[in-house]
Amino acid sequence: MKSWQKIILGIGLSLFSAILLTAAFPPYELWPLAFIALVPMIVAQYWLFPKSWSGLANALGVGGFFLFYMSLGGLIPFLVWLPIPVAIVAGIVGWRERVFNEKTHLRFFWLLGPIIWVGIEMIRGLVPFFGTWGFPAYTLYNQPWLIQPVSVFSIYGLDLLILVINYAIALGVLGALEKFNQQDGTRRFDHLPIRRISNIVGLITLGWIILSLFMFQPDEGAVRVAAIHPSVQVQDEEDASSLAVLFEASRMAAKRGARLIVWNEAALPFDPQTTHTQALQNLAAETEAYLSIGYAFMTDAGLRNESTLLSPAGEFLGVYGKDHPVLLSGETSITGGASYDPFMTEIGAIGTVICYDIEFTDTTRKVSQAGAEVIAVPSLDWPELASVHYTHMVFRAVENGVSMIKADIGFDSAIVDTHGRILSKVVTPKAGVMAILVADVPLRGGETLAMQWGDWMGWIALIGLGLFHASDLALAIRKPGDETEG
């Protein structure tokens, strides 16, 4: 095959990886593809592209995935253009990865790529603009039997496993290609202990599955909760018709036995502790339920994007301010981070996080560490995110061993238990559909290693990423004659 033909084929395989990975996510739901999606890209990177072009495989594969996955219909220019810097960074890293692997005789091949990937994910998870969007583990959101070790290793541990499997399969493919195409006599892959590496990865995968099945013992529901999916927005304090929709939906949820009823983010454009207060207190008393009320309004100091919990006795138990406002859209939250303490009630310790907070692992963890047994998630999504956003809550629930109730204005609402089972959901990206979700959820919290230790696997990968860059720099300045054969 001529060089230009290899490059064209490499471009095609790299883009094919982008398509496969995208298809593993909602709304396509082809989750098994996550375990093989990167194989074509890796083969192109190491077999088809010359070393100087090898980064193109990652640029097209990773950048193409973000192009497909993050297409938000032009809502935010930052996200529309995001795949370009992602492709540039992925290209540079992919090129240096191949250079490093060839200088070290590929002995770290099957582990280096996954560590680099997850290390970069860890950085993304710490940056307010990014969060955990696009993590391969999210493809498994509806496979609770497979994701339970996330409560030990966090989402970064599952991502590392998925990527190690991809690289191990790619190593086998590259070894087979080299074995049957030895015209130039080079041996880069088939001299590696591919069978031993495959066995190690297979045993790790089997161990993960066995551990997950052992841990997957769902608890019985202890309290009935509801998420109101109203599909209407209260415009101002005079908007009686929209407010009546929320009131009536709450009454219907209470008739079905709900003791905790969650309203969406910014459900009210005013502070319920000062406006329509008596009517809301009467509603709580009538329904004999705790009302988790999201509200947002502008002040001279900035936006107050908050949620409060109103008890059946008419008492406002406290305020939670959104911890991670969507900075890329200009959103602020002047009370964010003021308190993560749950509200203590007769039905349990009720915590709160708001919408974009579930893109980050830290906020739910802080609320869980403070003692929350169930967490309300008022949300106000964009319709373009409806098929993916609620899936992130599944992993926050498993990581911390807490049930979570996401109430969105009209796009994606869901109730998830402590093991990540979706007990009820409604996804209506076209809006205009009202729904009331009701389910019995267990009360449990503070029992997982991931909640106690945080993103420890992510930090290990980040350290590995730092060691890679340091080693790569050392090899780059080393004289050719100094290299030793291994």
Q: What digits encode the pLDDT tens for the residues 251-281?
A: 999 999 999 999 999 999 999 999 999 999 9
pLDDT over 70 percentage in the chain: 95
CB 379 within 8 A of CB 265: yes
Question: Does residue 76 carry a pLDDT above 70?
Answer: no
In eight-state DSSP terms, residue 46 is: I
**284-324 residue pLDDT tens:** 999 999 999 999 999 999 999 999 999 999 999 999 999 99
pLDDT confidence band for 328 (50 / 70 / 90): confident
Q: For residue 183, what pLDDT is reported?
A: 62
pLDDT over 90 percentage in the chain: 81
Backbone angles phi, psi at 113, to 5 degrees: -55, -50
Question: Does residue 78 carry a pLDDT above 80?
Answer: no
Q: For residue 481, what pLDDT is reported?
A: 54
Question: Does residue 454 carry a pLDDT above 80?
Answer: yes
Question: Does residue 82 carry a pLDDT above 90?
Answer: no
Q: For residue 432, what pLDDT is reported?
A: 75
For residue 315, give every residue at least 6 positions away whose Cβ sits within 8 Å of its Cβ, in sequence order, or none.
Answer: none
CA distance 437 to 451: 27
Q: What is the mean pLDDT of residues 217-245?
A: 94
**150-182 residue pLDDT tens:** 999 999 999 999 999 999 999 999 999 988 876
Q: For residue 482, what pLDDT is reported?
A: 53
Strands (E), 154-311: 223-229, 260-262, 290-299, 302-310
The residues pairing with 292 across neighbouring beta strands, listed in sequence order, are: 262, 309
Q: For residue 129, what pLDDT is reported?
A: 77
pTM, 2 dp? 0.94
**SS3 of 350, please?**
strand
**359-394 residue pLDDT tens:** 999 999 999 999 999 999 999 998 888 889 999 999
**Between 129 and 121, whose confidence is greater?**
121
pLDDT confidence band for 73 (50 / 70 / 90): very low
15-40 core/surface letters (b: 16 or more CB in 10 A; e: else): bbbbbbbbbbbbeeeebebbbbbbbb
Q: For residue 484, what pLDDT is reported?
A: 43
Q: For residue 181, what pLDDT is reported?
A: 79
Question: Does residue 185 carry a pLDDT above 80?
Answer: no
Q: For residue 485, what pLDDT is reported?
A: 39
pLDDT confidence band for 469 (50 / 70 / 90): very high
Q: For residue 480, what pLDDT is reported?
A: 57
pLDDT confidence band for 220 (50 / 70 / 90): confident
